[in-house]
Structure 1
Amino acid sequence: MTTTFPRTAPSTLGIDARGIAAFLDALESTPDVEPHGLVLLRHGQVAAEGWWRPYDRDRVHLLYSLSKSFTAAAVGIAVREGRIDLDATALSYFPELDADVTDERSRRIRVRHLLAMASGHREETIARAEALDPSNTVRGFLLLPPDEEPGTVFAYNQPCTYTLGAIVRRVSGVSLVEYLRPRLLDPLGIDDLAWRRDASGAEFGYSGCYATTESVAKLGQLYLQRGVWEGERILDEDWVAAATSTQVENPAEANPDWRQGYGFQFWMARHGFRGDGAYGQFCVVLPEQDVVLAITGQSLDMQAVLDAAWQHLLPAVDAADADGAGDDGLEARLASLGLPPVRGGRLPDLAAAGPFTGPELDGLVFTHDVDRWRATIDVDGGTLSVPVGEGEWAVDGALAASGAVDPDGTVLVDVRFVDTPHLLHLRVDPGTATVSASWATEPLHDGPLTLRRPAD
């Protein structure tokens, strides 16, 4: 089942289009901010939506830690079904580990502590947990004695969410996606959602979820509607209230929108609450304004994205001087969004100059396909093949590329992994037949060959 939001002019929804345009200006001009997709809802209707080519509406995007909010929804549904008790200990769901886990604090970690990133550990434990038990992350995590009493200290800690996912799988007997499909995804009309799995076959839970920008907006709208979707209750209202209010204080966080408190896999913010993920994945919910903002992107400065929202979008809602004068211009702009391709001169005969070698790649070969170049990249024991657009992005499956010649004769090729935030820069020297490669943003748990939507 597919459900989509009605689309309405911003002014009809009480939003000044000039504020949305100013927000777009800020996203496109702020250093270390690169938007890929945006959906802005008010009163459950689309006020603005757009995707920066080569990204598009129907393509999923790696959400990184925004995945946590989908995992939390699975827990909330399992609580509603009576499968999970928030006050039960994590260990109680893994009785086979009872003899191994002897630390009293570890034994007192409850489900609600995992949800609130309040296991009692003072810092991230994922590397230590996986080192303690490479085949069972839950066991490795529970073998790490908390530094403080569970529930008393905040630390962003991936094994908390991994363990939540493992509990859902344990009580349901199916994967997270299988559990969510009839209970959340189908009711919301989320047709395409996939999740990266670890070597044991378990979804990461804390990361690795791939979904469209609109799907992110739907999750936000569900929470804005206090857990009800088209008359059907999916999450209990008291669950939503707890998930979206401070369960543990976190005043030591560096950025202002990250130190407003933490709920159940949601951050509190200076305005409303949100789920977010590395490199600019956002699900921002503003209950007072009845607004949801979903953003996907490749942004290193995530605070700058929220600053721009507070500076430009928030005042545009119910602005005293709002009118419909800017609606048409905004609609045209949203339809024409795009990330700039590589600029420069026409590509030379790269087939004659190659093959190219370099320290980061096993090899690079260019061939000419009818009217454009194609790059074949050997990396990590596998091969990537992508057409290279000149003055545009050429898209093939989960890859897009653009290339040009720099004034110094260097060939520049940018390869975008368009199911993810990531961009690979290639610098090719035709004179020496060498190539160097660098990431604009470093992938956190994938290599070039797996930077795409995983198979179901």
Structure 2
Amino acid sequence: MVERVTGRSLPELLDERLFKPMGVDHAEWDRVASGAAFGFHGLHLTTEAVAAFGELLLRGGLWGDRRLVPREWVELATRRHVDTPQIEDWSKNPDALRGYGYQFWMSRHGYRGEGAFGQLCVVVPSSDLVVAVTGAIPQGEAVLAPLWECLLPGLDHAGSSRDDEILADRLRRLSLASVPGSADPERSVKARLDASVGDSALPDGTTVMVDPVDDGWLLRLGPLLNIEAGHGEWRESAPLGRPVVAAGAWQGNTFVAEIYVITTPHRVLLSVYADAGTAMATWNVVPLTSPSLALHVRSPLMTRPDVA
């Protein structure tokens, strides 16, 4: 409807009116073969950008002194319009039963946007609070109970400057653990991918090569997908236009790497067995549109080229 009324694509319109004014310069959308965005899902943003969107809602559509969204719409969209009754064998979490607005779920405190695999943007106007989550969590509701039980009560305590320093130091040091193991900087390996495990991120028979480069490795996954991996650190690259971070290590005669697709909860575990000359590449959770890793790291995204 938006595209018919405005004569412009949804991504183009939202970039101009919403994302760019907020300083979000890169919003990717899952697309089909025609280039059209799905619209109902598949918007890829950094966690910081999701938090900024929550802040926009918290301020009633204001970004700084600029109004990007009418306050009336924010108030209408984020209040209860329909009930969400208990469904047999489905979650009994109290936050699932608070009702639904215009694509926003009501919560015990405030409201939330909720995406696949535990993506969350929680807004609690009464506490001036926004929480953004990007992570592969089977039930996003599992994050909410700790927020209400631990975080929310803490907001009532003034704390001290020392508390602020301790928190800031802890946040600076937060990181995902790198892959354990040795560097073995002179060792290369070549293998053939075995996709028999199912939900493989790479096609069966793909040639996998691991070559040491600059205190890390270059992972060659087929003819087009070259990903940089660090040892003891995460290294960023954009093999087909979209960024990924990767780290790896040798664990005996097996090379292991983890590849995270930024702006998603998805990561690939790559295991290369030097003795057998075989490799496997498996998702932690398979993306909604396609298990092909190449489709998810290509820009612009076109994760369903089979759909017109």
TM-score (norm 2): 0.83
Could you tell me which residue of structure 2 aligns to residue 213 of structure 1? Answer: 47
Paired with 1:438 and 1:200, the residues of 2 have a C-alpha distance of 29
Could you tell me which residue of structure 1 aligns to residue 161 of structure 2? Answer: 324
Q: CA deviation at 1:269?
A: 0.8
Paired amino acid for 2:73: W
Could you tell me which residue of structure 1 aligns to residue 306 of structure 2? Answer: none
1:367 aligns with 2:205: no
Q: Please give the residue correspondences for 1:378-397 in structure 2 after superposition, counting only pairs within 5 Å.
A: 378=222, 383-397=224-238
Could you tell me which residue of structure 2 aligns to residue 420 of structure 1? Answer: 264
**Partner residue of 1:287 out of 121, 125, 133:** 125
Q: CA deviation at 1:348?
A: 7.3
SS in 1 for 2:279: strand
SS in 1 for 2:271: strand
Runs of 4+ in 1 over 6 A off after TM superposition: none
Given the superposition, is the C-alpha separation of residues 214 and 426 from structure 1 closer, same or farther in structure 2, using an over 3 Å criterion?
closer
1:400 aligns with 2:245: yes
Paired with 1:430 and 1:413, the residues of 2 have a C-alpha distance of 14
Given the superposition, is the C-alpha separation of residues 305 and 406 from structure 1 closer, same or farther in structure 2, using an over 3 Å criterion?
same
**Partner residue of 1:358 out of 169, 177, 194:** 194
Given the superposition, is the C-alpha separation of residues 331 and 171 from structure 1 closer, same or farther in structure 2, using an over 3 Å criterion?
same
SS in 2 for 1:339: coil
**Partner residue of 1:334 out of 171, 178, 181:** 171
Superposed CA deviations along residues 117-165 of structure 1, whole A, max 9, x for unmatched, are: xxxxxxxxxxxxxxxxxxxxxxxxxxxxxxxxxxxxxxxxxxxxxxxxx
Superposed CA deviations along residues 249-305 of structure 1, whole A, max 9, x for unmatched, are: 112251332221110011111110011212332211101112112222333342222
Paired with 1:220 and 1:368, the residues of 2 have a C-alpha distance of 42
The answer to whether the Cα contact below 8 Å between 2:134 and 2:264 also exists between their aligned partners in 1 is no
Superposed CA deviations along residues 11-33 of structure 1, whole A, max 9, x for unmatched, are: xxxxxxxxxxxxxxxxxxxxxxx
Paired with 2:71 and 2:97, the residues of 1 have a C-alpha distance of 25
Could you tell me which residue of structure 2 aligns to residue 192 of structure 1? Answer: 26
SS in 1 for 2:127: coil
Larger relative contact order, structure 1 or 2 (CA cutoff 8 Å, min sep 6)? 1
Paired with 1:222 and 1:415, the residues of 2 have a C-alpha distance of 32
The answer to whether the Cα contact below 8 Å between 2:272 and 2:279 also exists between their aligned partners in 1 is yes
Could you tell me which residue of structure 1 aligns to residue 276 of structure 2? Answer: 432
**Partner residue of 1:268 out of 99, 106, 120:** 106
The answer to whether the Cα contact below 8 Å between 1:227 and 1:234 also exists between their aligned partners in 2 is yes
Given the superposition, is the C-alpha separation of residues 357 and 329 from structure 1 closer, same or farther in structure 2, using an over 3 Å criterion?
same
Q: CA deviation at 1:308?
A: 1.8
Give the length in aligned residue pairs. 284
SS in 2 for 1:288: helix
Could you tell me which residue of structure 2 aligns to residue 223 of structure 1? Answer: 57
Q: CA deviation at 1:414?
A: 1.5
1:311 aligns with 2:149: yes
Paired with 1:347 and 1:279, the residues of 2 have a C-alpha distance of 36
TM-score (norm 1): 0.58
Paired amino acid for 1:449: A
Paired amino acid for 2:194: G
SS in 2 for 1:307: helix
Paired with 2:254 and 2:170, the residues of 1 have a C-alpha distance of 33
Paired with 2:284 and 2:78, the residues of 1 have a C-alpha distance of 33
Paired with 1:237 and 1:190, the residues of 2 have a C-alpha distance of 21
Q: Please give the residue correspondences for 1:167-206 in structure 2 after superposition, counting only pairs within 5 Å.
A: 167-206=1-40
Given the superposition, is the C-alpha separation of residues 415 and 184 from structure 1 closer, same or farther in structure 2, using an over 3 Å criterion?
closer
Considering only aligned residues, what root-mean-square deviation do their CA atoms show, in Å? 2.3
SS in 2 for 1:391: coil
Q: CA deviation at 1:428?
A: 1.7
Q: CA deviation at 1:350?
A: 4.5
Given the superposition, is the C-alpha separation of residues 279 and 188 from structure 1 closer, same or farther in structure 2, using an over 3 Å criterion?
same
Which 5+ residue runs of structure 2 have no aligned equivalent?
A: 302-308
Q: CA deviation at 1:370?
A: 4.5
Determine which structure has more spread, i.e. the larger CA radius of gyration: 1
Could you tell me which residue of structure 2 aligns to residue 79 of structure 1? Answer: none
Paired amino acid for 1:393: W
The answer to whether the Cα contact below 8 Å between 1:274 and 1:284 also exists between their aligned partners in 2 is yes
